[in-house]
Chains A and B, each alone.
Chain A
Amino acid sequence: AQSVTQPDIHITVSEGASLELRCNYSYGATPYLFWYVQSPGQGLQLLLKYFSGDTLVQGIKGFEAEFKRSQSSFNLRKPSVHWSDAAEYFCAVGANYGQNFVFGPGTRLSVLP
């Protein structure tokens, strides 16, 4: 079965600074990878996804993520953080058999003015 780790429980950055949220997965084949964002009291919204092809994926709200097979990673980046980006971010991995979708524990992002 696949698994996902997000090493950082909580990250604080200043508005305008760059951001990188880490995600590592464990899966025997090429995974389907996702990043979701959850604002307080809300459901989850998809930021971006990787199925195949170009390993640098662009998403909504200026986010991008890079799939690195050699490092089993799918890190999320944004060049300049806005106060509205404060939220919880979840990495997820999908598979085409078995227990098919696993979420990481999440990283909470705080943004300082």
Chain B
Amino acid sequence: NAGVTQTPKFQVLKTGQSMTLQCAQDMNHNSMYWYRQDPGMGLRLIYYSASEGTTDKGEVPNGYNVSRLNKREFSLRLESAAPSQTSVYFCASSSSLVDTQYFGPGTRLTVL
């Protein structure tokens, strides 16, 4: 099992460009999450999907959109990147909303 995979690992964008971060899990988990991690701020939840077909905003959703493509895949889209979105992005999955979350290796995004 690969667990949770994320692509790409690194990305540099210019302000205003768009991109999609991909996440997939092979653990048959119902719930999936996107976090951003910034120095001194821990992990902040951007969006989550409790189950296939549902998505909900987390703590910091502005500037992002998500798609739960199927049970395995949960993508995060930046429509018009801003320097404030420079961060490390982590995808996670769990069997339910209150269960252990398993994390991917992260995507380091820099917006110039």
Residues on A lying within 8 angstroms of B by beta carbon are 9, 32, 34, 36, 42-46, 49, 90, 94-96, 99-106
Partner pick for B42 among A49, A94, A105, CB 8 A cutoff: A105
What is the minimal beta-carbon distance from A49 to any residue of chain B, in angstroms?
6
B98 touches A99 (CB 8 A): no
Interface contacts beyond A44-B90, A105-B40: sample of 10 additional A-B pairs, CB < 8 Å, sorted by A: A9-B40, A43-B4, A43-B106, A45-B103, A46-B101, A90-B42, A99-B59, A101-B98, A101-B101, A106-B42
Per-residue 0/1 for B87-109: is the Cβ within 8 Å of any A Cβ (1 yes, 0 no)? Answer: 00010100001111111111000
A-B contacts at CB below 8 angstroms, number:
53
Q: Are B90 and A94 in contact (CB under 8 A)?
A: no
Q: Are B48 and A103 in contact (CB under 8 A)?
A: no
Q: Is the interface of A mostly helix, strand, loop or mixed?
A: strand
Q: Judging by beta carbons under 8 Å apart, are B100 and A46 in contact?
A: yes
A2 smallest CB distance to B (angstroms): 11
Question: What's the dominant secondary structure at chain B's contact region?
Answer: loop
Which B positions have Cβ atoms within 8 angstroms of A? 4, 33, 35, 40-45, 48, 58-59, 90, 92, 97-106
Q: Could you say which of B45, B58, B97, B100 contacts A96, with CB atoms under 8 Å apart?
A: B97
> How long is the Cα–Cα vector from A103 to B40 in the complex, in angstroms?
12
Residues in chain B near residue A45, CB distance under 8 A:
103
* A49–B100 touching, CB < 8 Å: yes
* A101-B40 in contact (CB<8A): no
In the docked arrangement, what's the CA distance between A95 and B45, Å? 14
Whether B42 and A104, one on each chain, are in contact in the complex, defined by CB atoms closer than 8 angstroms, is: yes
Nearest A residue to B100 by beta-carbon distance?
Answer: A46
Complex CA gap A108/B95 in Å reads 29
- Whether B97 and A101, one on each chain, are in contact in the complex, defined by CB atoms closer than 8 angstroms, is yes
Within the complex, which residue of B33, B98, B104 is in contact with A43, where a contact is CB–CB below 8 Å? Answer: B104
A101 contacts across to B, CB distance below 8 A: 33, 45, 48, 97-98, 101
Task: Point out the residues of chain B lying under 8 angstroms from A34, CB to CB.
Answer: 100-101
Closest residue of chain A to B97 (Cβ to Cβ) is A100
Residues of A within 8 A of B4 (CB): 43
